[in-house]
Chain A
Amino acid sequence: DADVTQTPRNRITKTGKRIMLECSQTKGHDRMYWYRQDPGLGLRLIYYSFDVKDINKGEISDGYSVSRQAQAKFSLSLESAIPNQTALYFCATSDPGQLNQPQHFGDGTRLSIL
């Protein structure tokens, strides 16, 4: 089983709909992140969480919200989806006690908003 699991893997929806992307991890890491990837732009940070009570905005948080339900679960919501939120979304985790370790990424959610 994957250490970082994202659901759904693919989603097509319409403008104005509320969407939730979910991420769960079995790595026991405290830190979790949501990124979006657009062609030619690399990955950009949306939100990050250092623990259940610590949530922070990233570079591009407008139009998104998150919920850290437990150490292992971090959800990303689009309250009213718009077409320019069409992208590939990645969840990642890291262990603050292991600064020599990279962030670990899920397999991604491909989101298309019509």
Chain B
Amino acid sequence: ELKVEQNPLFLSMQEGKNYTIYCNYSTTSDRLYWYRQDPGKSLESLFVLLSNGAVKQEGRLMASLDTKARLSTLHITAAVHDLSATYFCAVDRGGSQGNLIFGKGTKLSVKP
């Protein structure tokens, strides 16, 4: 059974600091997604990671994937208040099923 674990689940950080959110998953998969959710809102896609060693960056966020370690990271550089949100990773079950297993989410709060 595919399980996806994120940590930490809650993260309070100061503006200007760096931090990393981790996403571990239990079985082989070659597709991993990161989403952002603002309170009461829908999920917004941030990154799609398709292969081992994939690295993508958008602004202050950078995501990477290590399929051998079954680990993805979302690194935040010089955090700003606007990054406050809940971040989810989701792993594809594989076999082109398109079914995602989501982590429980990391609630990020960036304080001035």
Binding site for B on A (CB under 8 A): 31, 33, 40-45, 48, 50, 58, 90, 94, 96, 99-108
Q: List 10 A-B contacts (CB under 8 A).
A: A31-B98, A41-B104, A42-B102, A44-B102, A94-B98, A99-B96, A100-B48, A102-B33, A103-B98, A103-B100
Within 8 A of A (CB), among B36-83: 41-43, 45, 48, 50
**B contact residues around A104 at 8 Å (CB):** 45
Point out which of B35, B43, B103 has the most chain A C-beta atoms below 10 A from its C-beta.
B43
**B contact residues around A100 at 8 Å (CB):** 48, 50
Could you tell me if B99 and A58 are in contact, using CB atoms closer than 8 angstroms? yes
- How many A-B contacts are there with CB distance less than 8 Å? 52
User: Could you tell me the distance in whole angstroms from the C-beta of B1 to the nearest C-beta in chain A?
Assistant: 10
**CB nearest neighbor in A for B4:** A42
**B contact residues around A31 at 8 Å (CB):** 98
User: Could you tell me the distance in whole angstroms from the C-beta of A111 to the nearest C-beta in chain B?
Assistant: 14
**B contact residues around A99 at 8 Å (CB):** 31, 50, 96
**A contact residues around B101 at 8 Å (CB):** 45
User: Could you tell me the distance in whole angstroms from the C-beta of B103 to the nearest C-beta in chain A?
Assistant: 6
Check: B25 CB closer than 8 A to any chain A CB. Answer: no
